[in-house]
Structure 1
């Protein structure tokens, strides 16, 4: 019976709830802008990784190297797009 209980998914769900409570604490405790952004970014990336590995079963397939390569490539493209936009629009690079 022990092998039938999805212990990993339940622990992942509990950890996901804890990360959500930590993110909500930014609002409740009225933290400074910099501290709030840091906490929100860290919890967001941890939450995304947790969702990818535990609930989307990215590490359980035979082709997990290509799955992780695609995730890293998507993350790279997103970061280049975000920082490129900030470079031209916010930081005033001409």
Structure 2
């Protein structure tokens, strides 16, 4: 039996707690500060990037595995999909107002 399956997933708990702190920090900055909107958006975007990196390492086991090239290809593909989804959503939501 593999000893790895019997261990407590402490990295998952740490990753969850770190993600929770980052999310609550972003909510606090957005709701409780009087910073300019551009500063708030930059701060939230930075926290989102950090949280994505934490999730890649803690939950997706990016450090594990023998084939590093496959991991890099998968990350590039995921970034491509994220950009397409976000840009497509913004395009659809903003172009609908011009036809109404």
TM-score by length of 1: 0.66
Residue 11 of structure 1, CA deviation: 1.1
Alignment-derived partner of residue 57 in structure 2: 53
After TM superposition, the structure 1 = structure 2 runs for residues 6-85 of structure 1, keeping only pairs within 5 Å, are 6-25=9-28, 26-72=30-76, 74-75=78-79, 78=83
Provide the alpha-carbon RMSD of the alignment: 2.8
Separation in structure 1 between the aligned mates of residue 79 and residue 24 of structure 2, nearest angstrom? 25
The runs of 4+ residues in structure 1 deviating greater than 6 Å are: none
Point out which structure has higher relative CO (alpha carbons under 8 A, 6+ apart): 2
Mark the runs of 5 or more structure 2 residues left unpaired by the alignment.
Answer: 1-5, 88-100
Residue 4 of structure 1, CA deviation: 2.4
TM-score by length of 2: 0.62
